[in-house]
Amino acid sequence: MRLIITEKDNAARRIAEILSEGGASANRRNGVNVYRWGDTRVVGLSGHVVGVDFPEEYNDWRDVEPVELIDADVTKEPTQENIVTTLKQLAREADEATIATDYDREGELIGKEAYELIREETDVPVDRVRFSSITEREVREAFANPDDIDFDLAAAGEARQIIDLVWGAALTRFLSLSARQLGDDFISVGRVQSPTLKLIVDREREIQAFDPEDYWEIFADLQKNGSAFEAQYFYDDDGKEAERVWVEDDADDAYADLTSVDAATVTSVRRRTRTDSPPTPFNTTAFISAASSLGYSAQQAMSIAEELYTTGYITYPRTDNTVYPDDLEEDALLDEFVGAGHFGEDAEALLEQEDITATEGDEETTDHPPIHPTGEIPPKVDLSDDEWEIYELVVRRFFATVAEAATWEHLRVVAEAGGRSLKANGKRLVEPGYHEVYPYSSASENHVPDVEEGEELAISEVRMEEKQTQPPRRYGQSRLIQTMEDKGLGTKSTRHNSIEKLYDRGYIEGDPPRPTTLAMAVVEAAEEFADHVVSDEMTAQLEADMTAIANGEATLDDVADESREMLKRVFDELRDSREEIGEHLQESLKADKTLGPCPKCGEDMLVRRSRQGSYFVGCDGFPECRNTLPLPSSGEPQVLEDHCEEHDMHHVKMLAGRDTFVHGCPRCEAEKADESEDEVIGPCPDCGDEHDGELAIKHLRSGSRLVGCTRYPECDYSLPLPRNGDISVTDAFCEEHDLPELVIDADSDDPWELGCPICNYEEYQARTAVEDLEDLNGIGSATAEKLGDAGVDSLAALREADPDTIATEVQGVSATQVREWQDELEA
């Protein structure tokens, strides 16, 4: 029997379909899909099915000094027991095996891990196949020409695993223990994560330190045959044209001169033609940047691209290459799109060009080609809207790289009025070239009429605008990934995951990402006491060392030992500063949770968490002062910059996935509830007959509203109500429950007719009942299938799953998303 091992189940299914010519069937072993036809079996892993870790005796953070982890043994343990068991069972039945994991450093390591599991059971021959797209042609060619596992490339991936484990675990434990921040709220540090965080923090410091300067710009509307166009005032600044006027009096003088006349005389007309070259082929970074302009995060873009790759529609999306390989026949690939409704006309037009020559970028590698379509074209209905949008982006980028250059005609007009100079720059697209097939690049024109030197143009309006210089912009995710690449931080396969980890650990928020107070504190502590922790030079050196391993120029042991020596030097710097670091981090963590002064004792009011896991606002003077305020029961609180003037207290936002909402000032919400009166609306269905209990509309101090029994706590019957909008009790009654119907007026033209609160809640429960994975927000059939491949095939399994493990194993699912699903199950 021949055994084929792929990296994921969907790749296994696709390869089985190709090699069996559609004749493969599937059965389940230990909950794992095994595809079979004839004497061949194909099984998909779930990424890494074994992981590196420390021996069990190092697990107790309080009993093991963090520095001890540096020289601790590193062991390998199964992380997906059912897949490992299945692979070993199949290996015992096999006469030969083929590794068909992705061809990159990570894929080679996953293949080596599978090889080692096979070797534990049998010594049958094991070969390796490599491909850059899962198309019929390339898969068949790969299996016709098998190779050997590249153990050097795999060793480079293994070195990264070991180094990241040792650095991350040792420094994470040191900082967390120093700050007394344990449990789920530990302070995470990583070899790539921390220098990346410093990039974001440094940019935020630039923004905060920025001192804006005032300047003025002056514009005039010039008339030609009744049509106006805009010209801008400029002056000579030591031989350079300048438009910004930095002195207000100078701006006033120029404005006065221009408004004193009603015409301008053209003094110069210059025309030129410029060639606009097509873009170069997509590598990973350029693809993420282009997808970002369509609104996709780096993680989303790569997840979708991975799906399109495993279904055979695009080539492997993790590549540095920007030069198509010699064996790519651009005209033949274009011909595949002829007749394809959405792309057919553009493909035909490109084939009519006299010469079809693709553009080339600066990076040429031999592992994978640039990202491009394979020529296997999916029906649009087979893809989700997001998948189709990304697929079209990749197709049109390929089209653009083989299209002709665009041609622009530029017209520059200079005129004089009142002794002042005005200029207007127009541009017109003469030959659209690649813009006809690639609508993502700007092709906007600016019309300036054809004028002649000496011609007089009427001035219809003069405007002076006061402006300020702006601080540097925060890094968008694509720009951040580009900067990481420039500085040698991470790899094309890991950079977007590093950013996702920063979100998951609460170090950054928003998009573009901005650092939280905790992030600023961690970076400040590292800079002051151990700069190597956030040094991009050190991390880039280790990345270079791992490349040397892949090239056979260094060994795994040598590089791992070198990294351990680096880490020992870091701990030498940290050893004497533990208390200072702890105090610094604790103060910063406290600042991130501080709302304002306690009205009873003047100490800080902080966001706190009870032993039961719920959040509330409590006084830092506890136990002397026991003043508290409630917070809503759903979501995780985030302190906002918005501030209540009346109570000198920051507002709070409750992060609850799609149900995130702003709670506002906790004191305001509590006082509103204290001042409100319960409005009785009818009998309580639980105790009305026996104890005369009644239902009333109640406003809680946490900001929530509900319909609840007036006999609480003896009777705890209650129904939720919307948080916002005025509640009106109507004259219409529900005959079944003897309750009035309610209307919610949320300042819209269409008030929400809630109806009977009991009927409404019963309908809501039926509508939102969670009976299987696909009932949860954001889990469609494709995501449910991927979760199932990772062993999460039921609601019970999802409840028990570790979010960080699932995020590592399931492409396109973040740890934050898993936690939101788990919260939804508990709601």
Q: What is the rounded distance in angstroms from the CA atom of residue 3 to the CA atom of residue 95?
A: 8
Q: What is the rounded distance in angstroms from the CA atom of residue 422 to the CA atom of residue 460?
A: 14
Q: What is the rounded distance in angstroms from the CA atom of residue 200 to the CA atom of residue 683?
A: 57
3-state secondary structure 222-290: EEECCEEEEEEEEEEECCEEECCECCHHHHHHHHHHHHCCCEEEEEEEEEEEEEECCCCCECHHHHHHH
What phi and psi values does residue 625 have, to the nearest 5 degrees? -115, 125
Beta-carbon neighbour count of residue 249 at 10 Å?
A: 8
Beta-carbon neighbour count of residue 764 at 10 Å?
A: 12
- Helix (H) or strand (E) run with residue 114 in it: helix 105-119
Long-range contacts of residues 742-745, Cβ cutoff 8 Å, at least 24 apart: 742/681
In 3D space, the residue among 443, 506, 522 whose CA is nearest the CA of residue 195 turns out to be 522
* Four-residue CA torsion sign, 582, 193, 51, 545: negative
Determine contact, residues 128/146, Cβ cutoff 8 Å.
Answer: yes
Cα 161 to chain centroid, rounded: 22
Strands 227-237 and 40-44: unpaired
Q: What is the rounded distance in angstroms from the CA atom of residue 760 to the CA atom of residue 706?
A: 13
DSSP state of 196: H
What phi and psi values does residue 725 have, to the nearest 5 degrees? 100, 145
Residues 6+ apart with CB under 8 A from 342: 380, 392
Record the tokens describing residue 208, joined without a space.
């905060």
- Helix ranges (H only) for 442-577 are 477-486, 495-504, 517-529, 536-550, 556-574
Determine contact, residues 468/214, Cβ cutoff 8 Å.
Answer: yes
Beta-carbon neighbour count of residue 73 at 10 Å?
A: 8
3-state secondary structure 359-403: CCCCCCCCCCCCECECCCCCCHHHCCHHHHHHHHHHHHHHHHHCC
Q: What is the rounded distance in angstroms from the CA atom of residue 368 to the CA atom of residue 806?
A: 27
Q: Which of 316, 324, 391, 507 is catalytic?
A: 316
Record the tokens describing residue 176, joined without a space.
């967390």
Both ends of the chain: CA-CA distance in Å? 49
Sheet of strand 679-683: strand arrangement: 679-683, 694-699, 705-709, 718-721
Determine contact, residues 38/129, Cβ cutoff 8 Å.
Answer: no
Beta-carbon neighbour count of residue 556 at 10 Å?
A: 21
Determine contact, residues 590/521, Cβ cutoff 8 Å.
Answer: no
- Helix (H) or strand (E) run with residue 96 in it: strand 96-100
Record the tokens describing residue 655, joined without a space.
């992060």
Asked about 316 being catalytic, the answer comes back as yes
Q: What is the rounded distance in angstroms from the CA atom of residue 476 to the CA atom of residue 699?
A: 41
In 3D space, the residue among 123, 117, 53 whose CA is nearest the CA of residue 86 turns out to be 117
- Helix ranges (H only) for 627-756 are 666-675, 688-691
Which DSSP string do the residues of 679-711 spell out, in sequence order?
EEEEE-TTTHHHH--EEEEEE-TTS-EEEEETT
Q: What is the rounded distance in angstroms from the CA atom of residue 164 to the CA atom of residue 104?
A: 18
- Among all residues, which ones are annotated catalytic? 316
